[in-house]
Amino acid sequence: MKIRAHHLLCLHTISGDDEGYSKAFIENMKRIAEKIKKDPDTEIKVIKDMDDICRACPNNKGICMLKPGINKWIIRHDEKVLSLTGLKVGQTYKAIDIFPLVKKKIKADDIPAVCRGCIWLKEGCAEEYRKGMVL
C-alpha cells in the first residue's frame, strides 16, 4: 500500500467518533489500520503525494483541497515527518519495521509541535499516538 509520510502519524489516532470526516473516509482508514495490525508484514511504500488514505477523502481533487492552498503545506508536513524519521520517499518498508521506527524518532510528546497547523490536531492526539498502532 502507498502511505504519505504524515499519515504514518495519523494512523495512530483515528477513532470511530472523529468529527469532520466522512463515513467512507473513516471506514477506509480503519480498514487500512486493521490490515496493518492483522499483517505486520504489510508492505508500505512511503510517498509525499495522494495515497491510499486520501483515496477515500472528499477533499481529494487530485491534490488536497481541504482548503485553498493547503496542498503545499501538506507536502511540507510530509517532508517534516520524512526528515524527522529518516524515511525515504519511494522506499518500501514492512509495517512491523516502519511503525516502531516512527515512534522511536517522533515521541508522543512531540506531536503537538510536529503537527502544529494541522486542522485535525486535537488535545487527545498525543495520547492516542502514544497508545495506538503498536505492532
Contacts with ligand SF4, residue ranges (CB under 6 A): 53-54, 57, 59-60, 64, 66, 74
Closest approach, Cβ 89 to ligand SF4, in A, equals 15
Q: Give the integer Cα–Cα distance in Å for 62 and 124.
A: 30
- For the CB of residue 6, give the shortest distance to ligand SF4 in the complex, in Å: 8
Cell numbers representing residue 58 in the block: 472528499
Total count of residues recorded for the chain: 135
- Nearest CB to ligand SF4, comparing residues 66 and 133: 66
Of residues 57 and 106, the one with the C-beta less far from ligand SF4: 57
Report in angstroms how near the CB of residue 18 gets to ligand SF4 at its nearest: 12
The amino acid at residue 125 is: C
Tell me the helix, strand and coil percentages in the chain, rounded to 5. Answer: 45, 10, 45
